[in-house]
């Protein structure tokens, strides 16, 4: 399995996340865009797990610890994003969790790109 779908999904997730961040700073909420962001991230994490674990057709799984680190960072970012959605009524904790969510997400994407481009 090639890593291109994983990179495309998680890059699209990051771009939608940047748009959501701009809207958040303007005080505008876009629930549909939040749902798209979540679905892209879930799809990206699922394809990353398939890439690491191997696909049902018997192809070999990708090796390397950076892929596992990237998957862990993306999973932690998803957990923080869901936590931020639960904390949206209290602004200070929600902002801290959102900054953590964005940091983990971009770190996961950076580690994924480092893993994919490593020869």
Domain boundaries along the sequence of the chain: 4-117
**pLDDT tens readout for residues 64-107:** 788 899 999 999 999 999 998 888 888 888 889 999 999 999 99
For the chain, give the mean pLDDT: 88
Residue 10: per-residue pLDDT: 94
pTM: 0.88
pLDDT in the model for residue 42: 95
Average pLDDT of the segment spanning 52-65: 69
**SS3 string of the chain?**
CCCHHHHHHHHHHHHHHHHHHHHHHHCCCCHHHHHHHHHHHHHHHHHHHHHHHCCCCCCCCCCCHHHHHHHHHHHHHHHHHHHHHHCCCCHHHHHHHHHHHHHHHHHHHHHHHHHHHCC
What integer is the mean pLDDT of 30-41? 94
């Amino acid at each position: 399995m090639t890593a291109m779908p994983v990179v495309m999904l998680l890059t699209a997730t990051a771009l939608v996340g940047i748009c959501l961040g701009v809207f958040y700073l303007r005080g505008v909420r876009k629930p549909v865009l939040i749902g798209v962001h979540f679905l892209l991230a879930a799809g990206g994490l699922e394809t990353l797990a398939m890439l690491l674990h191997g696909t049902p057709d018997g192809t070999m799984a990708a090796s390397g610890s950076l892929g596992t680190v990237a998957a862990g960072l993306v999973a932690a970012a998803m957990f923080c994003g869901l936590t931020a959605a639960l904390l949206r009524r209290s602004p200070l904790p929600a902002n801290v969790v959102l900054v953590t969510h964005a940091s983990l997400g971009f770190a996961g994407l950076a580690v994924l790109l480092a893993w994919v481009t490593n020869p």
